[in-house]
Structure 1
Amino acid sequence: MNGNIDIAIIGGGAVGLSVAYHLLQMGGCSVRLFEANRIGSGTSWHAAGIVGPLRSSLNMTRIAMYAGHLFSELENETGKSTGYRQTGGLWLAQNHERLTELRRIHAMGNRVGLGVEMVSPQEVTQVAPHLRVDDLAGALWVDEDAQVSPVDLCAAYASGIKQLGGLIEEGQPVERIETDNGKLKGIALLNGERVKCDRVVLCAGLWSRTLAANVGVDVPLQAVEHMYVVTEPIDQLREPVPVVRDLERGVYLKGDTGKMVIGGFEKHAKIWNPASEIPTDGGYLMFAEDWDQFAPFMQAAVERMPVLESTGIQMFMNGPESFTPDTKPLIGETPELPGLFVAAGFNSVGVMSSAGVGRELSEWILNGRPRFDLWEVDIRRVSPKWNKTKNLHLRMQEAVHTQFAMHWPLKQPEPRVGLHRSPLYERLISAGAVFGCLPHWEVPLWYAESESERSIIHTFGEQPWWDITQREAERMAASVALIDLSQFSKFKITGKQSLEGLQYLCDGDMDMRLGQSKYTVMLNQRGGIEADVTVSRIDSNCFRVVSGASTRYRDFSRMRQILDYFDDVLIEDRTQDEAVLGVMGPLAREVLQRVFSENLQTEKFPFGHIRKVKIGGMEVTALRRSYAGELGWEIFMQVDDAMMVYDLIRAAGEDFGISHLGMLALDGCRIEKGFGHWSHEWDSDVTPIEARIEHTLGTRHRDYLGYDAIRRQKEQGVSQRLLLLEVLLQTSERPLLLHDELVLCDDEIVGLTTSGAVGPRTGNLLSFALVEFEPGESFLEICNKHLQIEVAGDLYETRVLTEAPYDPDGMRMRG
């Protein structure tokens, strides 16, 4: 039998069922769900069933909160119980640093209206008298923490799907996803049936990686053995028993009809290969008990809840669970194969996440994008290197444990695998570089001048590297510095319709003179910013596009999909072909003039222009731009020439005291210049008008993507804007501003910070913030508001800056 449908869903766990349910609720499409065994088998059936709405970011919290609504609503719609029960929950802190982290998370709960409260150890005993608290510094209480029965939830989803007219086919393994000339065509079942469809949603849990790999798609997840135990009944328990997360010990506890469920997240989790074992129990996989692996969690639970020492164990559950290298789910349309969507790699929170992910992914499938930006879990964030089996196994040494580990600022993944290195890596090591990680690259964070400066010290207080970044920036501002920028994403767009394609993609006018470059943004239909890029015109039908390091695969796939609608356009990813070296500072011209064949005076080489030049007989491309806000050039060169070009420029700058600038100093410099950053200051939900970068829009009237939304917003006004705030310190102690700190106006929450830094040249404590206000309020009225930033429970006065605190007129950069 062969069939045609709109959407095929592979996998009948909680996530796949939720996607099917929400697609059918939205209507207008035919859906078939294929489950190799029984619905809820695989991973969902043995989940602990904890429902925790509070996450570390705004949009992830919004997704998680929806579960509390849907799980109750499903019971009303279908008449089937989901076992949903709100119990409240505790996040325990044993030290000041963990308590500080919880205070920051508490602020996120306040932002979205959750019932959150910081409580003392004595207050913990009032809601959980069975816990030992003498070693606690405090705790975070969340009213909305809850639990659900995974098996009952899956049955309720299935009932809802059938009521809405959907088809669920159990015992129907999918053999492969089918393509034709790189285009999605459908799926082939193991029984020989071929199903044609426009879109496929891969929700096969730990089997998703193998199915995706067969069509050249990377889904980097790894199955591990995940364990918990259920005790015998305990008479002393007082219902409801709150969910308890004992973070320092890496263990969780929850009530279960008079019993306790105990589980944890360990280092060096036990790897399991799905191909090594074929399910024989209808997909309800269980592994052997492993008390050697679980004993530390049992001991930790006994220490926290002493009554457990005399309580027997009724069941030991050991089943497979998939984790990802960065411990974030993989959601969205794959960059390699348009039409193939993924929802997998949930790092033990798939049942809880199923509600929100099902709704957002359905919006994405049917309307082209989710209701709000999901970049942090977007599958387009991953690198193919992440998906190498060796790298996945190495990351499991830490990834599982990361669930409860401290989320320190500047915490680096260990081991560092699956990352690219600059061609200049060895030279930078010799210069004192202390390396850290971007999603795909190792980059110099700063340059150490002593052994003591080489350590990354973790704290939520004043950062030890602030003095180092100040030193680096001051040297650059006084002379000249080298910045390795090889991690930039670099694309080449050619063809007779390349200009037409870029005119549609970009909000600025791309019909530039040859050799000119322009900063611009790419929008979606709602006017939200999908990318901020620098576009340079190399020839009449040849353009160079440069974007940020972390968005490489996202930017490439989105541009390629849109440019495919034009007849003669080719886009190539050139990121790995070129190294990039920034030469920045007031003496950059003098240094480069010693080695360049081109006249670098402003009248010959103006700001915002690009040239091919010779250095030591090698051809390089010089772009006059600066993210640091100083006079400077970005030098693009072939990888094989990189070290020689670096050596020539460094030698030419010795007389000028040439130095190096790391990524942390660069980040501080861009903030004190008022330069925003995609995925920090703005994302696909924020427009150029809201981001206060209207200069990218230009003055011409044309139908670029998002034009109608921008035109409407100009007419109607906006209700949020990006502001640059200076914190007015009352003492010498400077708080650490990261992102997502609350912004308050007269005690009312009006927004969140997006980035923060101590300006390395000005010394000012600065923060970008996205702030809501009444429509029609002028910028002057906003500037006069009483705005405060809350950092870990403490309030700090601010003032709105009307211009960048460093070189506001840009004379240093353009001189």
Structure 2
Amino acid sequence: FKEEVGGLVMGGYEPNPQAWATGLAGGDVPNDWEFRLFDDDYDHFEQHMSQAIARVPALAHVGVKQMINGPESFTQDGNFILGVAPECSNMFVGAGFNAFGIASGGGAGWVLAQWVVDGEAPLDLWVVDIRRFSGLHRDRDWVRDRTLEAYGKHYTIGFPHEEYLSGRPRIVSPLYERLKKHRAVFGSKLGWERPNWFAPDGAAAEDVYSMGRQNWFGPVGDEHRHVREKVGIFDQSSFAKYELTGTDALKALDWICANDVNKPVGRLTYTQLLNTRGGIEADLTVSRLGEDRFYIVTGTGFRTHDLSWISDHIGSGLDARLTDVTEEYGTLSLMGPRARDVLQ
């Protein structure tokens, strides 16, 4: 609610939003759409009106001067979009403000301007960085369904570790069904289904959300203890994977990586990638597969960001080619003090 020229303006966020789908090849918004509204839709608005009348009974007896029914841009995670488009050098994006454009505009404009001037973000903007997305987000049906779910949760209680449900399962590893039979409870990361925890026999294989300790707390503690004291195997096939090849591959990595990756073939190096302020842009491993061939593994959610960062910082004129090979390899990690015993 807010006062408006002697009247009252009222609106809300409904749990059942409507997507605007025109079927246009280049997107749903016509090129000539500006300062226009949709037709009034009192049937859809009734859920807001009934709650407004309960709070301000006088609304039941006064007239409605105008309904404002227009489009608003929302994203599939409820956060806006800033940064350099990874597919196009020097193209900066500021969009998808989820109806908070006026409130966020000043800060967003400042950091975007600094980004343009300095060539990198002035502070940690990962939660709104355009590179948090991937090729998955070119699927308009998936984006629509996930965005509708995110909008519907705009003013619901946000429980810790709550997972989205729409558009799942989308991407699964070859072990998905096997893990499911072992009572895995999955979460979703950049479209990939990943086991968050395993429900013991007799317990429901599902998340039960609360503000206190949730039902996964005990089982996760048992899993952690088992791996710390014995051994466990992890399906990390969702992790992003790249290959860097070429006669100058080592030279490129020597410049990009904080750690020394000039190790013998067959060795792995854990390293960070740093920006000019010494801040961490990426946290990953580099394996040397050959004299001029390196295998890079990073977190699932950083697939686009890290690929873009490495590509942008390969020195001009170097013979070094970066290729995304995420779907070409599965990844199993054997961890714990008895891992070597298992292999032997």
User: Shared fold (TM-score greater than 0.5)?
Assistant: yes
Equivalent positions of 1:478-489 (< 5 A) are 478-489=229-240
Looking at structure 2, the residues matched to 566 and 451 of structure 1 have their Cα atoms a distance apart, in angstroms, of 61
Q: Secondary structure at the match of 2:225?
A: helix
Q: Do the aligned partners of 1:440 and 1:550 also contact (CA within 8 Å) in 2? A: no
Q: Does 1:268 align with 2:16?
A: yes
Looking at structure 2, the residues matched to 316 and 451 of structure 1 have their Cα atoms a distance apart, in angstroms, of 53
Q: Where do 5+ consecutive residues of structure 2 fail to align?
A: none
AA at the equivalent of 1:376: V
AA at the equivalent of 2:253: L
Looking at structure 2, the residues matched to 558 and 351 of structure 1 have their Cα atoms a distance apart, in angstroms, of 30
Looking at structure 2, the residues matched to 332 and 376 of structure 1 have their Cα atoms a distance apart, in angstroms, of 11
1:612 — aligned with what?
A: none
1:39 — aligned with what?
A: none
Equivalent positions of 1:179-218 (< 5 A) are none
Looking at structure 1, the residues matched to 218 and 8 of structure 2 have their Cα atoms a distance apart, in angstroms, of 49
Q: Secondary structure at the match of 1:391?
A: helix
Tell me how far 1:265 sits from its aligned partner.
Answer: 1.4
2:78 — aligned with what?
A: 327
2:225 — aligned with what?
A: 474
Q: Cα RMSD (Å) of the superposition?
A: 2.0
Equivalent position to 1:490, from 241, 256, 260: 241
Q: Secondary structure at the match of 1:443?
A: strand
AA at the equivalent of 2:196: L
Equivalent position to 2:291, from 540, 560, 580: 540
AA at the equivalent of 2:10: I
Rg larger in 1 or in 2? Answer: 1
1:141 — aligned with what?
A: none
2:310 — aligned with what?
A: 559
Tell me how far 1:475 sits from its aligned partner.
Answer: 2.7
Looking at structure 2, the residues matched to 543 and 338 of structure 1 have their Cα atoms a distance apart, in angstroms, of 25
Q: Secondary structure at the match of 2:117?
A: helix
Q: Do the aligned partners of 1:327 and 1:402 also contact (CA within 8 Å) in 2? A: no
Q: Secondary structure at the match of 1:288?
A: coil
Q: Does 1:383 align with 2:131?
A: no
Equivalent positions of 1:579-590 (< 5 A) are 579-590=330-341
TM-score, L = length of structure 1: 0.40
Q: Does 1:574 align with 2:325?
A: yes
1:181 — aligned with what?
A: none
Looking at structure 2, the residues matched to 279 and 302 of structure 1 have their Cα atoms a distance apart, in angstroms, of 38
Q: Do the aligned partners of 1:386 and 1:418 also contact (CA within 8 Å) in 2? A: no
AA at the equivalent of 1:271: A
Deviation digits for residues 372-404 of structure 1 (CA, Å, limit 9, x no counterpart): 111101110012212312112322431222221
Q: Do the aligned partners of 2:169 and 2:193 also contact (CA within 8 Å) in 1? A: no
1:255 — aligned with what?
A: 3
Tell me how far 1:452 sits from its aligned partner.
Answer: 3.0
Looking at structure 2, the residues matched to 561 and 425 of structure 1 have their Cα atoms a distance apart, in angstroms, of 34
AA at the equivalent of 1:340: M
Looking at structure 1, the residues matched to 29 and 239 of structure 2 have their Cα atoms a distance apart, in angstroms, of 42
Q: Do the aligned partners of 2:15 and 2:151 also contact (CA within 8 Å) in 1? A: yes
Equivalent positions of 1:69-80 (< 5 A) are none
Q: Does 1:463 align with 2:211?
A: no
AA at the equivalent of 1:283: E
Looking at structure 1, the residues matched to 287 and 247 of structure 2 have their Cα atoms a distance apart, in angstroms, of 16
Deviation digits for residues 617-646 of structure 1 (CA, Å, limit 9, x no counterpart): xxxxxxxxxxxxxxxxxxxxxxxxxxxxxx
Q: Secondary structure at the match of 2:194?
A: strand
Q: Secondary structure at the match of 1:327?
A: coil
Equivalent positions of 1:408-557 (< 5 A) are 408-417=159-168, 419-450=170-201, 452-557=203-308
Looking at structure 2, the residues matched to 420 and 507 of structure 1 have their Cα atoms a distance apart, in angstroms, of 32
Q: Do the aligned partners of 1:391 and 1:418 also contact (CA within 8 Å) in 2? A: no
Deviation digits for residues 215-251 of structure 1 (CA, Å, limit 9, x no counterpart): xxxxxxxxxxxxxxxxxxxxxxxxxxxxxxxxxxxxx
Q: Do the aligned partners of 1:492 and 1:545 also contact (CA within 8 Å) in 2? A: yes
* Residues 418 and 524 of structure 1, relative CA distance in 2, 3 Å threshold: farther
Equivalent positions of 1:548-697 (< 5 A) are 548-563=299-314, 565-593=316-344
Tell me how far 1:317 sits from its aligned partner.
Answer: 0.5
Equivalent position to 1:359, from 110, 121, 131: 110
Q: Do the aligned partners of 1:322 and 1:348 also contact (CA within 8 Å) in 2? A: yes
Tell me how far 1:481 sits from its aligned partner.
Answer: 1.7
Deviation digits for residues 724-778 of structure 1 (CA, Å, limit 9, x no counterpart): xxxxxxxxxxxxxxxxxxxxxxxxxxxxxxxxxxxxxxxxxxxxxxxxxxxxxxx
Q: More relative contact order in 1 or in 2 (CA 8 Å, sep 6+)?
A: 2
Q: Do the aligned partners of 2:258 and 2:273 also contact (CA within 8 Å) in 1? A: yes
Equivalent position to 2:59, from 308, 321, 325: 308
Tell me how far 1:291 sits from its aligned partner.
Answer: 1.0
AA at the equivalent of 2:199: A
AA at the equivalent of 2:284: V
1:393 — aligned with what?
A: 144
2:156 — aligned with what?
A: 405
AA at the equivalent of 2:257: C
Q: Where do 5+ consecutive residues of structure 1 fail to align?
A: 1-252, 594-815
AA at the equivalent of 1:587: R
AA at the equivalent of 1:348: A
Looking at structure 2, the residues matched to 358 and 590 of structure 1 have their Cα atoms a distance apart, in angstroms, of 56
Looking at structure 2, the residues matched to 351 and 322 of structure 1 have their Cα atoms a distance apart, in angstroms, of 13
Tell me how far 1:326 sits from its aligned partner.
Answer: 1.1
Deviation digits for residues 305-325 of structure 1 (CA, Å, limit 9, x no counterpart): 333233321110011112111
AA at the equivalent of 1:362: A
Looking at structure 2, the residues matched to 373 and 478 of structure 1 have their Cα atoms a distance apart, in angstroms, of 36
Tell me how far 1:417 sits from its aligned partner.
Answer: 4.3
TM-score, L = length of structure 2: 0.92
Q: Do the aligned partners of 2:228 and 2:337 also contact (CA within 8 Å) in 1? A: yes
Tell me how far 1:419 sits from its aligned partner.
Answer: 4.2
Looking at structure 1, the residues matched to 269 and 31 of structure 2 have their Cα atoms a distance apart, in angstroms, of 56
Tell me how far 1:351 sits from its aligned partner.
Answer: 2.5
Looking at structure 1, the residues matched to 179 and 315 of structure 2 have their Cα atoms a distance apart, in angstroms, of 40
1:809 — aligned with what?
A: none
Higher share in strand: 1
Equivalent positions of 1:5-44 (< 5 A) are none
Equivalent positions of 1:281-320 (< 5 A) are 283-320=34-71
AA at the equivalent of 1:273: A
Looking at structure 1, the residues matched to 131 and 49 of structure 2 have their Cα atoms a distance apart, in angstroms, of 38
Tell me how far 1:449 sits from its aligned partner.
Answer: 2.3
Looking at structure 2, the residues matched to 400 and 549 of structure 1 have their Cα atoms a distance apart, in angstroms, of 24
Q: Secondary structure at the match of 1:283?
A: coil
Q: Does 1:338 align with 2:89?
A: yes
Q: Do the aligned partners of 2:171 and 2:193 also contact (CA within 8 Å) in 1? A: yes
AA at the equivalent of 2:14: E
Tell me how far 1:544 sits from its aligned partner.
Answer: 1.4
AA at the equivalent of 1:529: I
AA at the equivalent of 1:270: Q
Aligned residues: 340
Looking at structure 1, the residues matched to 60 and 203 of structure 2 have their Cα atoms a distance apart, in angstroms, of 45
AA at the equivalent of 1:437: S
Identity fraction in percent? 35
Equivalent positions of 1:705-720 (< 5 A) are none
Looking at structure 2, the residues matched to 399 and 407 of structure 1 have their Cα atoms a distance apart, in angstroms, of 11
Tell me how far 1:456 sits from its aligned partner.
Answer: 0.9
Deviation digits for residues 573-628 of structure 1 (CA, Å, limit 9, x no counterpart): 111111111222333223222xxxxxxxxxxxxxxxxxxxxxxxxxxxxxxxxxxx
Tell me how far 1:277 sits from its aligned partner.
Answer: 7.1
* Residues 418 and 358 of structure 1, relative CA distance in 2, 3 Å threshold: farther
Deviation digits for residues 500-533 of structure 1 (CA, Å, limit 9, x no counterpart): 1111111112221222222111111111111111
Looking at structure 2, the residues matched to 438 and 326 of structure 1 have their Cα atoms a distance apart, in angstroms, of 12
Looking at structure 2, the residues matched to 554 and 353 of structure 1 have their Cα atoms a distance apart, in angstroms, of 23
Deviation digits for residues 27-48 of structure 1 (CA, Å, limit 9, x no counterpart): xxxxxxxxxxxxxxxxxxxxxx
* Residues 451 and 272 of structure 1, relative CA distance in 2, 3 Å threshold: farther
Q: Do the aligned partners of 1:279 and 1:285 also contact (CA within 8 Å) in 2? A: no
Q: Do the aligned partners of 1:514 and 1:539 also contact (CA within 8 Å) in 2? A: yes
